[in-house]
């Protein structure tokens, strides 16, 4: 019989988990997509709780602006331009060497999603864009892996647990991809909002991993720490009978042609990004939000132009954007998602 390590004694004394739940945790595999404000908190909590194996997926490197809320990183990581997945892995291994930690410096996409996500017991959302979440949702439904959605911006957060066959899927909740929402870059974020969102996600994950599914949240949870608002939204009747993912099992976001269309413009050091055909883009709201940031923004009747130190983003009313100053698709995608949203 396995002897329970002393480090987990306090966790085992929480009756709903107990010694049996701690032992279950030590044989479970979790994947976190996005190791930022949410993902760093999720990862540390799970590693300290003794999950058996943790996979980290992130495409970015540590920036000075991350340190305000992304708890696993240091100024040294910024100076070394360490990839987030690698910096997090090193810190987490110093916290609990018993946990197997895999780190992938990768942008989750239709070509690699199944290889990276399959074999895990739960998927945790640490992303900052809806396209990746829709891709996670397709994987979740296709392979019956529960995933826990989380989003935090400003002082508010949202959390919901998607369980294939038991709840509506993410595509049902977001019938069309909502391009042009708020981002941390344009409206900011306070650390406690990210911490609380990630903590709620981890609590849901631990329920699943210790076979306490009866205690999972049944509603979408919303909070705003600044205005002291907390509410739940019932999603019982939101299942879409025409949903391609959970009803027809066609998995549209696992097909490359349904994602965002991106192309390098020959000889112009420019990348064009065109949202998915399902996207609903709110141009006026996005243009107004950009102007209110104090950034260098100019608009006319046809487009909005955002000038940065090394790049220029020209945004059109249909959501199409030209990212000038780079011919690297991943850099262009990050700029689009950082300033435009989606």
Q: How many CB atoms lie within 10 A of CB 147?
A: 29
Strand order in the sheet with 147-153: 100-105, 53-58, 29-33, 122-125, 147-153, 156-162, 219-224, 229-234
Token representation of residue 159: 């959390």
Output the pLDDT for position 1: 43
Mean pLDDT of the 155-174 span: 94
Domains contained in the chain, CATH given: 6-234 (3.40.50.720), 260-339 (3.30.310)
Q: Which two tokens stand for residue 29?
A: 């595999």
- Choice among 169, 172, 184, 246 that is catalytic: 184
Strands (E), 126-236: 147-153, 156-162, 178-179, 219-224, 229-234
**Contact at 8 Å (CB) between 253 and 110?**
yes
**177 pLDDT more than 60:** no
303-307 sheet: strands from edge to edge: 261-265, 270-274, 321-324, 312-316, 303-307, 296-299
Residues shown for the chain: 342
**Its pTM surpasses 0.75:** yes
SS (H, E, C) 17-30: CHHHHHHHHCCCEE
Choice among 5-9, 165-169, 276-280 with the minimum mean pLDDT = 276-280
- Of 60-74, 148-162, 212-226, 298-312, give the lowest mean pLDDT range: 298-312
Active site residue 246: no
Poorest-confidence range of 71-75, 167-171, 267-271?
267-271
**pLDDT score of 208 more than 60:** yes
Q: Could you give the CA distance from residue 192 to residue 98 in angstroms, rounded to a whole number? A: 29
CA distances from 68 to 19, 65, 159, 265 (A): 36, 6, 22, 36
Indicate the average pLDDT of the chain: 90
| pLDDT tens, residue by residue, 219-237 | 999 999 999 999 999 988 8
């Amino acid at each position: 019989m396995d002897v329970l390590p002393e480090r987990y004694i306090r966790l085992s004394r929480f009756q709903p988990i107990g010694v049996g739940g701690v032992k279950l945790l030590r044989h479970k595999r979790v994947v976190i997509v996005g190791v930022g404000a949410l993902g760093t908190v999720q990862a540390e909590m799970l590693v300290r709780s003794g999950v058996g194996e943790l996979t980290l997926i992130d495409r970015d490197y540590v920036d000075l602006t991350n340190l305000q809320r992304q708890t696993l990183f240091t100024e040294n990581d910024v100076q070394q331009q360490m990839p987030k997945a690698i910096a997090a892995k090193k810190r987490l291994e110093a916290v609990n060497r018993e946990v197997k930690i895999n780190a992938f410096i990768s942008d989750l996409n239709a070509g690699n999603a199944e290889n990276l996500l399959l074999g895990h017991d739960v998927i945790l959302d640490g992303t900052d864009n809806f396209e990746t979440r829709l891709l996670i949702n397709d994987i979740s439904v296709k392979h019956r892996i529960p995933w826990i959605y989380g989003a935090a911006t400003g002082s508010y957060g949202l959390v919901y647990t998607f369980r294939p066959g038991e709840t509506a899927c993410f595509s049902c909740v977001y019938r069309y991809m909502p391009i042009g929402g708020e981002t941390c870059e344009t409206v900011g974020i306070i650390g406690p909002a990210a911490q609380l969102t990630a903590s709620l996600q981890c609590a849901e994950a631990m329920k699943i991993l210790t076979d306490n599914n009866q205690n999972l949240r049944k509603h979408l949870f919303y909070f705003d720490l600044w205005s002291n608002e907390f509410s739940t939204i019932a999603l019982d009747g939101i299942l879409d009978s025409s949903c391609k993912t959970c009803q027809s099992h066609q998995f549209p976001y696992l097909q490359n042609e349904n994602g965002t269309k991106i192309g390098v413009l020959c000889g112009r050091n420019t990348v064009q990004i065109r949202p998915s055909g399902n996207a609903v883009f709110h141009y006026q709201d996005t243009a107004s939000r950009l102007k209110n940031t104090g950034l260098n923004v100019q608009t006319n009747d046809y487009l909005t132009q955002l000038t940065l130190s090394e790049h220029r983003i020209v945004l059109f009313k249909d959501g199409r954007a030209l990212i000038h100053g780079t011919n690297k698709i991943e850099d262009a995608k990050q700029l689009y998602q950082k300033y435009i949203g989606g």
